[in-house]
Amino acid sequence: MKYVATFLMGLLFAVGLTISGMTLPSKVIGFLDFTGKWDPALIFVMVGGILTYGIGLPLITKRSGPIFDKKFSIPTRKDLTPNLVIGAGLFGIGWGLGGFCPGPGLTSLTTLAGPVLIFVGAMAAGMYLYTGYEKLTSK
């Protein structure tokens, strides 16, 4: 049941991304284009996410535990590490250049469009390279 619930939540997320137009790189790039034809649509998506999280998290964590797991998996670290800052910077550069972030990129895979395949391939390669880097530096 845990995997069915996970799949359904992922599907709901993908549908929301598609309906909001966030799977269209032109929407993201339009949001970042302050000097040209600026598209504020992404602000509404962000506000919707912030409100959902802000209202939902306190309600959910009042429960004794999650429905399909033993305990909540909530990050506890609050420090900024160089890896976090560098990763956030790389994410932002990729997001601005390509118009995709991981969720919309994976959702857009259903189109099999060339730019999507390149983005997801590059993302997978980056994840693989980082995993190798972590193994080398953690010894």
User: What is the band of 120 on the pLDDT scale with cuts at 50, 70, 90?
Assistant: very high
d(CA 15, CA 70): 28
Residues with Cβ within 8 Å of 66's Cβ and at least 6 positions away in sequence, in order, are: 60, 72
* pLDDT the model gives residue 125: 94
pLDDT tens, 48-89?
999 999 999 999 989 988 888 888 888 888 899 998 899 899
d(CA 51, CA 92): 22
Give the predicted TM-score (pTM) of the model: 0.71
Residue 66: helix, strand or coil by DSSP? coil
What percentage of the chain has pLDDT greater than the value 90? 35
pLDDT at 139 over 80: no
